[in-house]
Amino acid sequence: MKAVVIGSGIGGMASAIRLASLGFETDVFEQNPFYGGKINSKKIGSYRFDRGPSVFTEPHLVDELLDISKGTKIHFDCHKLDVSCCYFFEDGKRLALPVGKEAVAACLSKELGEDQDHIKKLLNRLELNYKAVSPVFIKVSLHRLKQWLNINVFKAIARIPFYGLFSSMNTVNRKNFENPKTTQIFNRFATYNGSSPFKSPGMFNIISHLELNIGPYMPKGGMVSISDAVYQKAIDMGVRFHFNTRVAQILYSSDRVNGVALSNKEIPCDLVTSNMDVHYTYEKLLPGLKGPSKILNQEKSTSAIVFYWGIKKSFEKLDVHNIFFSKAYESEFDHLFNKKTLIDDPTVYVHISSKLERSDAPEGCENWFVMVNAPIDSGQDWESQKQKLRSNVLKKLNRILKEDLETLIEVEENIDPIMMERMYSGKNGSIYGNASNTMMSSFYRHPNFSPIIKGLYFSGVTVHPGGGIPLALNSAAIVEKCVRRDFSIS
């Protein structure tokens, strides 16, 4: 049997590996000249930059993928980070938050006046919540009845009072913490799926478990090493990649997939997995099919503007991950989701892979990935927006770091929501498809299979279970489970 995967993002390549392991002759069609989707890399002058995601948790999911079937051993290794993130506040406060319950509790107690025992109990609760939710929400389809008929579901339901499901993250966090700075630190995890902590449910505090209790990792060789390893595994499994090749349409007759159409020919197959943004999968590849409007009309996630700066200096105060918070955090999200514009004092994230990967920048220099959350594209003048943002970001960083960064920028490039849409086919430049800004939004993500067309599946950050590298990898594992069942593969 033959399978086609549309898109070579991490979810697409993981799907291809899993389909090949089931015996499918698998082809991946990618519109770009490179694999990995947003997890790609670029050299600018003497500096190397990861251009997309920079926070990496649950590396065992990559290891599991690389261990599928037999074949060449693909090398993949990570640094375990001791500091999850360095936080900078407008009043001059700097906080390097360590990893592990005991260390986090001690740090927040000493630096921000929180009750140490209370923090440890909270972190334990987040761990239990994550372990209850993961087997029934993250690792399986929500959209097939059989998945709801097991003991794990009842265990997860029993913990509903502890999730904060019916309150916003901000409401839950304000009750949990004495210091507004602690609330702001925990609120920021809503941005990991492009949402607002003032709208998304408290359930999403479980995201912090992975970063604070367990800790983030940095792949050796940079984030692009994830894509490199998964691509090599796919090649080893016999997957064929076709770059610079755009799929024009998914072909089906009656209620079953027949293949895909390219610009010059049709490719017959028994199964199609779309790793493309689910909104554009329906709009561009299935033009005659009415999509699930309730899902597709949900509020979109944020986009981003990223500046890639080669900095001719090394900063001891900075770590691999750094956050410079906005003083007006709630107003910032009001601008992003309601006013569709950027606040003058945005939260700025700075990722510096050269802190660990020394070859990513010349000696004594650093490669700064400077990201600001941005609204999706709705016709804004992005060139003027970027110029104004660049000025505001430099003022903010100069003020806090007491430095004139403009004189230190040796090389520079940027990316905005329009470029995001063009390169990665995210509707309006959204990064994660739908935002999670309502209580039930997690249940309105598109399933990993089509309920209308047999043989059509979906993987990646815009479908269940959600945004981020671990969830994209889980989406591919769910596709495999659905395919096994649908094609009666033991």
Q: Which two tokens stand for residue 63?
A: 């290891």
* Rounded-to-integer distance, Cα 390 and Cα 371, Å: 11
pLDDT at 12 over 90: yes
Mean pLDDT, the chain, integer:
95
Residues 308 and 414 in one domain: yes
The continuous run of DSSP H or E covering 411 comes out as: strand 409-415
Q: Which two tokens stand for residue 426?
A: 């995210």
Residue 436 confidence (pLDDT): 92
Domain end residue (candidates: 175, 197, 214): 214
pLDDT band for position 147 (cuts 50, 70, 90)? low
DSSP line for 213-265: II--EEETT-THHHHHHHHHHHHHTT-EEETT----EEEEETTEEEEEE-SS-
Domain end residue (candidates: 214, 236, 263): 214
Residues 325 and 399 in one domain: yes
Residues 336 and 413 in one domain: yes
Residues 252 and 326 in one domain: no
* Residue 105 located in a structural domain: yes
| Cβ atoms of 24 and 290 closer than 8 Å | no
* Residue 400 located in a structural domain: yes
Residues 292 and 318 in one domain: no
pLDDT at 482 over 80: yes
pLDDT band for position 102 (cuts 50, 70, 90)? very high
Q: Which domain holds residue 133?
A: 100-214
Residues 469 and 444 in one domain: yes
Global pTM? 0.95
Taking residues 85-110, report their average pLDDT: 97
Antiparallel, parallel or unpaired: β 271-274 and 2-6? parallel
Q: Which residues contact 219 (CB under 8 A, 6 or more apart)?
A: 56, 59, 76, 77, 78, 79, 225, 226
pLDDT band for position 444 (cuts 50, 70, 90)? confident
Residues 439 and 293 in one domain: yes
Residue 153 confidence (pLDDT): 73
pLDDT in tens, 193-215: 999 999 999 989 999 999 999 99
Residue 290 confidence (pLDDT): 87
Residues 409 and 315 in one domain: yes
Residues 108 and 18 in one domain: no
Domain end residue (candidates: 214, 229, 256): 214
| Cβ atoms of 386 and 416 closer than 8 Å | yes
Residue 70 confidence (pLDDT): 75
pLDDT in tens, 356-378: 999 999 999 999 999 999 999 99
Residue 145 confidence (pLDDT): 61
User: Contacts from 377-386 at CB under 8 Å and sequence distance 24+?
Assistant: 377/303, 377/417, 377/418, 377/421, 377/428, 377/429, 378/340, 378/428, 380/340, 380/341, 382/416, 382/417, 382/418, 385/305, 385/341, 385/342, 385/416, 386/305, 386/414, 386/416
Taking residues 408-427, report their average pLDDT: 97
pLDDT in tens, 167-199: 999 999 999 999 999 999 999 999 999 999 999
pLDDT in tens, 41-83: 999 999 999 999 999 999 999 999 999 987 788 989 999 999 9
What percent of the chain shows pLDDT beyond 90? Answer: 88
pLDDT in tens, 299-347: 999 999 999 999 999 999 999 999 999 999 999 999 999 999 999 999 9
Taking residues 286-301, report their average pLDDT: 91
- Of residues 465, 460, 478, the one with CA closest to residue 13: 460
* Residue 13 located in a structural domain: yes
Residues 248 and 208 in one domain: no
pLDDT at 443 over 80: no
Residue 478 confidence (pLDDT): 96
* Rounded-to-integer distance, Cα 478 and Cα 459, Å: 8
Q: What's the structural domain count of the chain? A: 3
| Cβ atoms of 364 and 410 closer than 8 Å | no
